[in-house]
Amino acid sequence: MWKRSASFILDQRQENNKPPLDSSSTNQMAAVKNSKISAYYQTRSAHHAVVTSDWLAQSQEAAIEFDPSTNDYLKSSTGNSGEKPFGVIDEFNHWRQLPELAEAVAAILALASVIRFSKASTIMELERELKTASDSLKSWDTTSISLTAGCDLFMRYVTRTSALEYEDFNAAKLRLIERAEKFGEISRKARRTIAMLCQDFIFDGCTILVHGYSRVVVEVLKLAAQNKKLFRVLCTEGRPDRTGLRFSNELAKLDVPVKLLIDSAVAYTMDEVDMVFVGADGVVESGGIINMMGTYQIALVAHSMNKPVYVAAESYKFARLYPLDQKDLTPALRPIDFGVPIPSGVEVETSARDYTPPQYLTLLFTDLGVLTPSVVSDELIQLYL
């Protein structure tokens, strides 16, 4: 089990009073739980609350202005005709089908739609409806760290202002919708913000080692290539789902020199490497990260050879979790195919990710800024309290 921080105590006290989930959401979640493969890994396979004024300003300056006439992210799957009843899981699945949209952002957009289509007549009723929808999404896949963190941050940010209790309900609802859409917009722009922050650390002639397929790391290297920087990339193969093949294909399209490595060749080639860049499924309170299996051993090798390890992760992946070791993780299972029959009685490790402690990481590039691992806990306090 996860060792959760003290900040969860209040939430746990409120668990006994939370409203029951609707039957449609329960049925959809049961279908996922009956699967032997976690929804977390199914999503990866398919697609391979305080916001400071500084954060907002940085995002607005760094990101390319979006065109409302061509941007579909505010369009709900539920039409105005009302023929189909609104369901938060259906809405979430609608957004999750977009390959470039992170799972957490899909959940944020789905929760924004909950406010928009709500029939509640009071703020308290609306907040209870949001809490129920958030719990439904988090229960949809209990192994997804970013999904849980994104829902928690949304609830903190959108329902934070106590003054809403004293406003006219319709005005308060419009204000909630505005805050929800602003949060979704900031989350969408996070990758672009991070990519710009990383550029000063990528120099001409450098060699970068990457592991796993991270869309934010792809954005970082894509922007570096567009800025005419000369660098080459070493991609681990990323068994068993071969994420390195997908990553190398993306880089080849950008005419970036890229070399594929078998996973066991990391130590062999580390002396050629100037820096390691990885993404993260979750950033925890210790300043460590949860990421694709193999990240920990790469960080260990890099640390032993004095190579910097950089992490690129959106702030909606900051989770109130404190794992103590590798066995302290909620497992996200994945299928393993060795290409040959496995003898009966032989156990196969099917976990999809591992935990990298903060002492093996150099810097974290986030839309909150460039952070050292020791600063992460302070940022979490600012985000959640």
Give residue 27's pLDDT. Answer: 47
310: which DSSP letter?
A: E
Give residue 383's pLDDT. Answer: 67
**Block mean pLDDT (10 aa), the chain, length 385:** 38 48 46 47 46 44 40 48 70 80 83 83 82 86 83 78 60 77 78 92 94 91 93 90 87 92 93 94 90 93 95 88 82 76 83 90 91 84 67
Location of structure tokens 């976690």: 38
SS (H, E, C) 73-103: CCCCCCCCCCCCCCCHHHHHHHHHCCCCCCH
Give residue 42's pLDDT. Answer: 53
Give residue 4's pLDDT. Answer: 40
Residues with Cβ within 8 Å of residue 111, at least 6 apart in sequence: 88, 130, 133, 134, 137, 151, 154, 155, 158, 180
N-terminal to C-terminal alpha carbon distance within the chain:
24
Location of structure tokens 């396979």: 45
145-158 exposure pattern, b = at least 16 Cβ within 10 A, e = fewer: bbbbbbbbbbbbbb
**Would you tell me how many other CB atoms lie within 10 Å of the CB of residue 130?**
24
Give residue 198's pLDDT. Answer: 94
Give residue 51's pLDDT. Answer: 39
Give residue 307's pLDDT. Answer: 95
Q: How far is CA 232 from CA 204, 256, 258, in A?
A: 9, 6, 6
Structure tokens given for 345: 């009685």
Helix, coil or strand: residue 36: coil
Contact 92, 184 (CB under 8 A): no
**Would you tell me how many other CB atoms lie within 10 Å of the CB of residue 383?**
22
Cα separation, 212 vs 245, whole angstroms: 9
Contact 147, 290 (CB under 8 A): no
Q: 67: exposed, middle or buried (C-beta count within 10 Å: 0-12, 13-18, 19+)?
A: exposed
Contact 209, 276 (CB under 8 A): yes
Beta bridge partners of 312: 365
- How far out from the chain centre does Cα 62 lie? 20
Cα separation, 50 vs 52, whole angstroms: 6
Give residue 2's pLDDT. Answer: 39
Among 351, 355, 370, CA closest to 312: 370
